A and B are shown apart, each in its own frame.
Chain A
Amino acid sequence: MTRSICILFFLIVVLSSCVNKEILDDVRIATAVGFELAENEELKVTAVVPNYMPDKTITNEVATETARINKEAREKLDRTKSRPYVSGKIEVLVYSKEISEKGLMPYIDSYFRDPTVGSKIFLTVTDSDIQGLLQYQYGTRDNGMYISDMIEHNINVGSLPTTNFHDFLNSYYAEGKDPFLPLIRQIDNEIKIIGNALFKDDKLVGEIPEDKLFTFKSLMDRKTSQDSITIEMDKEKYAFLHKIKSNRTFKFDNVEKTKEFTININIEGLIHEYSGGKIDKKMAEEITKKTKEQITSQAEEMIKTFQELETDPLGLGEHVRSHTKNWDSKKWYETYPNLNVTVNTKVKLTETGIIE
């Protein structure tokens, strides 16, 4: 007892200043960081910090610096500010298209080296000017929180497939899978998700436009719910289908020989709006048919594009690998572009509304 108390006392005296204090209101808590290329190949880093005003409003404080690498920019920024920047509360990392095309990994490195940065933060790609995009105050909060909330709710109830820092790294390091990131753009004082950016390894190779996000999400996630699609019927009539739930399964057998791969999508949904008036049984069947056609054709077209770009965001390779003995990645990459992928879609309308 006496000894342990002595040891404790000793430790308290000796180690009392060994831990670096980061008192909440004495640090500059960055919530979003943007990266774009400056002239002469330097990196232009933009950091967003919420500024909590005494009247409880939050203003968006933005600072920009150019440097050779990320942490150098932070060090330069620290020299201009009253309090040091910390990266533990970063919610969003925004990358410009040029950087994404060059390869993201060098610019992500400092974040997955840092244990204070969470793995559930969002990575995004934008084709707008990043300083301008982060400068404008969109909501009543700072832009880091705003963009993070925007992406989060679009994953939960919108048509964005599940994505975050962890998923990105997982897809990047997995064999037979490539990452994708949400694509955002600033359009007249608004920020908007305009699709998904497709990567081959860590290099941007293509895009999925926003009108195909529904299909992409249905293909990507094993189980999804709560998103919607507009179905184009003939004669300028439109139906708005709300998805209650869907599931997706892969079917394949000895792919490297047969080169056959089947994707089954089951969608259960209801009609929220139809511009053609009454929906009877026949009409409902018609809508079901059109939906099926639209999703199947979109999906097949999308997968064609993936194969042309030699990118595999769906992780078909990863899936095959996990079901195959002695899987050879080289061989798979030879097979993948020529793979014959069939998409079977099943649509079930559970409800068409209460209009008689």
Chain B
Amino acid sequence: MNFLKWLSSKGNKLTKQEKDPELDQTIDSLLDQMKASKDFIHFVHNKGSNNMYCFYFKSLVDSEIIHRDILPYVSDEITSLEEIKANVPIEKIEITTDIKKIQNQLLTGSFLIKMSERSEEVVLITAELKQSREVSIPEVEFSVVGPKESFVESIDTNINLIRKRLPIPELRLDEFQVGKLSKTKVAIFSIEGITNKENLNTVIQRIQDLEIDTINDSSYIAQLISDNRNSPFPQIIDTERPDRLASVLAEGKVGIIVDGAPHALIAPTTLVEFFSAFEDYFLNWITASFFRLIRLFSVMFSIMVTPLYVAVLTYHYELIPKDLLGILVTSRREIPLPPILEAIFLELAIELLREAGARLPTKVGQTIGIVGGIVIGTASVEAGLTSNVLLIMVALAALASFTTPVYKMSNTIRLIRFPFLFMAHLWGLLGVAICFCFILGHLLRLTSLGRPFLEPLYPPRIQDLKDAFIRLPLSFQSKRPVELQTEDTMRFNSKKAKEKKEIDE
């Protein structure tokens, strides 16, 4: 930890004293600077008596707007900037002398008009070129039933997707610019009267305080505003489903959307939420609860099965049931490696395949990777490098880790298996227990926006268990989670929801 501090402090000393380059700029020097770029267009528009000087980036401005909505209205009668503002049928027109504003507007797609060569005052007409991918089906959080739209890279489209789902005036949107170079727009969603002010302010404060040059994705923000940045456990959920974001906003959470990122962030969150897929809410509560339990079991299985194998085979042969003894001994008979090396060999093989599969261009690559894994595994069993019992276990553990709905969490599960494995080799089941205590201690200390990460379990909140390991029917979900400390705790009237109305009543 001290080493990390030393590293970062050393880095700070090396940076030069910052200075704002825009301070001593004039509008001419700014325009000259921009003229160096080939895509910066400047021409003199003269119709009749007046010369008008026009400037814009052709790569940022929609030329159709210029030709249809701007130039035809800038005719010879016009003598002042105010008249332009009055004539041009575009709602976002500004007259300013502020260099900083002019620079920002030009760089986000505005059309600039000056009345004379030397004038300081300019008019800025917004003619932004909006280019974004079509809203497509979610790929990471795919669900068989339910809505099939996912966020795209454009922040406006994403905001639109949320506004459509929550058409209420209370839906509040705070927008900030983050990144010295990238000037990335970051929008924070909350619902007034529901979202806890403290949570919202924490997010706003952390985002305002960010000191970074570029933000390329929402995951940057997620890493930077997490409570504990050194934890392998993600403390903020990212989702690509607008329906999920809308539903958690209604629960009282804070949503963060970043321009250029097709993933929104949700905070605060708890550990169990990482194991609930949004599809759980589309299914009947019994089926949904069953699959949730299977998912939780598979997580435990995925983390524990190889360490237990190593621990039992190295230290605790007494634990093996007598009918299993023969199978295990026969499969290990010809293997020259001790259980730990055998397990690490197979685990690494699977990790390699997963990593290679993720880098392959298509999703097919992943499937081929796993199939390849089984083939390599079978070959290594035949060559006598690993036992086939372990091969089955490792393959099942890999499969089980895929059931985690949030990708970041499944990466964490992949990682924390290894400390367990080493401890199992060192001290057997005792080592596994010690390692488990460390992980549990770490989880207990974790917070998400200052709210406890292990929430319905510790501190125990019986009420929040309604949507943790099992998902009770929707009519039981009438109260917002205690964890979020919402201003309005009631979602709807549970009595009315439970009433069954007959049709002829």
Q: Which secondary structure characterizes the binding site on chain A?
A: loop
| Beta-carbon contact of B338 and A23 below 8 Å | yes
Contacts of A31 in B (CB 8 A): 322
B61 to chain A, nearest CB (A): 52
Chain A: CB-nearest residue to B431: A19
A115 to chain B, nearest CB (A): 9
Binding stretch for chain B, among A48-56, A188-196, A268-276, A304-312: A48-56
Binding stretch for chain B, among A85-93, A217-225, A238-246, A317-325: A85-93
| Beta-carbon contact of B2 and A2 below 8 Å | yes
Contacts of B1 in A (CB 8 A): 1-2
- Cβ of B326 < 8 Å from any Cβ of A? yes
Binding stretch for chain A, among B107-115, B309-317, B344-352, B484-492: B309-317
- Cβ of B333 < 8 Å from any Cβ of A? yes
Contacts of B318 in A (CB 8 A): 88-89, 116, 118
Chain A: CB-nearest residue to B426: A16
Chain B window 257-278, contacts with chain A (Cβ cutoff 8 Å), 1 for yes, 0 for no: 0000000000000000000000
Chain B window 412-435, contacts with chain A (Cβ cutoff 8 Å), 1 for yes, 0 for no: 000000000000001110100000
- Tally inter-chain residue pairs, CB-CB below 8 A: 68
- Cβ of B159 < 8 Å from any Cβ of A? no
Chain A: CB-nearest residue to B423: A12
- Cβ of B325 < 8 Å from any Cβ of A? yes
A30 to chain B, nearest CB (A): 11
- Cβ of B339 < 8 Å from any Cβ of A? yes
| Beta-carbon contact of B326 and A58 below 8 Å | yes
- Cβ of B83 < 8 Å from any Cβ of A? no
- Cβ of B356 < 8 Å from any Cβ of A? no
- Cβ of A356 < 8 Å from any Cβ of B? no
Beyond A21-B314, A54-B333, is A89–B325 a contact (Cβ under 8 Å)? yes
Complex CA gap A86/B320 in Å reads 14
- Cβ of B253 < 8 Å from any Cβ of A? no
Beyond A88-B317, A145-B322, is A24–B427 a contact (Cβ under 8 Å)? no
Contacts of B96 in A (CB 8 A): none
| Beta-carbon contact of B329 and A19 below 8 Å | no
Complex CA gap A141/B2 in Å reads 60
A124 to chain B, nearest CB (A): 17
A183 to chain B, nearest CB (A): 23
Contacts of B320 in A (CB 8 A): 24, 89
Beyond A1-B1, A91-B322, is A22–B315 a contact (Cβ under 8 Å)? yes
Complex CA gap A1/B328 in Å reads 40
- Cβ of A60 < 8 Å from any Cβ of B? no
- Cβ of B26 < 8 Å from any Cβ of A? no
Chain A: CB-nearest residue to B335: A25
- Cβ of A148 < 8 Å from any Cβ of B? yes
Contacts of A53 in B (CB 8 A): 330
A147 to chain B, nearest CB (A): 12
Chain B: CB-nearest residue to A31: B322
Partner among B317, B334, B430 whose Cβ is within 8 Å of the Cβ of A27: B317
**Which B residues from 297 to 321 make CB contacts under 8 A with A?**
312-315, 317-318, 320
Q: How many residues of chain B have a CB within 8 Å of chain A?
A: 26
**Which B residues from 107 to 163 make CB contacts under 8 A with A?**
none
B37 to chain A, nearest CB (A): 49
Chain B: CB-nearest residue to A55: B330
Contacts of A16 in B (CB 8 A): 426
| Beta-carbon contact of B326 and A12 below 8 Å | no
| Beta-carbon contact of B322 and A25 below 8 Å | no
Partner among A12, A22, A24, A116 whose Cβ is within 8 Å of the Cβ of B328: A24
Complex CA gap A88/B334 in Å reads 23
Partner among A2, A24, A116 whose Cβ is within 8 Å of the Cβ of B329: A24
Chain A: CB-nearest residue to B323: A145
- Cβ of B295 < 8 Å from any Cβ of A? no
Q: How many residues of chain A have a CB within 8 Å of chain B?
A: 30
Complex CA gap A15/B333 in Å reads 29
Complex CA gap A91/B325 in Å reads 13
Complex CA gap A31/B326 in Å reads 12
Complex CA gap A29/B427 in Å reads 21
| Beta-carbon contact of A29 and B317 below 8 Å | yes
Complex CA gap A19/B438 in Å reads 21
Partner among B315, B333, B428 whose Cβ is within 8 Å of the Cβ of A52: B333
- Cβ of B332 < 8 Å from any Cβ of A? yes
| Beta-carbon contact of B317 and A12 below 8 Å | no
A25 to chain B, nearest CB (A): 4
| Beta-carbon contact of B322 and A23 below 8 Å | no
Complex CA gap A15/B427 in Å reads 9
Contacts of B332 in A (CB 8 A): 24-25
A307 to chain B, nearest CB (A): 40
| Beta-carbon contact of A89 and B322 below 8 Å | yes
Contacts of A19 in B (CB 8 A): 315, 426-428, 430
| Beta-carbon contact of A23 and B329 below 8 Å | no
Complex CA gap A1/B329 in Å reads 41
Complex CA gap A116/B428 in Å reads 15
Complex CA gap A226/B107 in Å reads 89
Contacts of B315 in A (CB 8 A): 19, 21-22
Chain B: CB-nearest residue to A50: B326
Contacts of A8 in B (CB 8 A): 438
| Beta-carbon contact of A52 and B329 below 8 Å | yes
| Beta-carbon contact of A23 and B428 below 8 Å | no
Partner among A1, A89, A91 whose Cβ is within 8 Å of the Cβ of B317: A89
Chain B window 1-24, contacts with chain A (Cβ cutoff 8 Å), 1 for yes, 0 for no: 110000000000000000000000
| Beta-carbon contact of B317 and A22 below 8 Å | yes
Complex CA gap A118/B326 in Å reads 19
Beyond A89-B322, A89-B325, A145-B322, is A25–B333 a contact (Cβ under 8 Å)? yes
**Which A residues from 88 to 109 make CB contacts under 8 A with B?**
88-89, 91
Contacts of A27 in B (CB 8 A): 317
The residue in B322, B328, B339, B427 that gathers the most chain A C-beta atoms within 10 A of its C-beta is B322
Chain A: CB-nearest residue to B338: A23
Complex CA gap A80/B430 in Å reads 33
Complex CA gap A137/B322 in Å reads 18
Contacts of B335 in A (CB 8 A): 25
**Which B residues from 392 to 451 make CB contacts under 8 A with A?**
426-428, 430, 438
Complex CA gap A27/B338 in Å reads 13
Complex CA gap A115/B147 in Å reads 59
Complex CA gap A12/B267 in Å reads 37
| Beta-carbon contact of B426 and A54 below 8 Å | no
Add 9 more A-B contacts to A2-B1, A15-B427, A29-B325 (CB < 8 A). A19-B428, A23-B314, A24-B339, A27-B317, A50-B325, A50-B329, A54-B333, A88-B317, A148-B322
| A contact set with B: CB distance below 8 Å | 1-2, 8, 12, 15-16, 19, 21-25, 27, 29, 31, 50, 52-54, 56, 58, 86, 88-89, 91, 116, 118, 141, 145, 148
| B contact set with A: CB distance below 8 Å | 1-2, 312-315, 317-318, 320, 322, 325-326, 328-330, 332-335, 338-339, 426-428, 430, 438
Q: Which 4 A-B pairs have the closest CB atoms?
A: A88-B318, A25-B332, A52-B329, A24-B313
Q: List 22 A-B contacts (CB under 8 A).
A: A16-B426, A19-B315, A19-B428, A23-B338, A23-B339, A24-B313, A24-B320, A25-B329, A29-B317, A31-B322, A50-B325, A50-B329, A52-B329, A54-B330, A56-B330, A86-B317, A88-B317, A89-B318, A89-B322, A91-B322, A116-B318, A118-B318
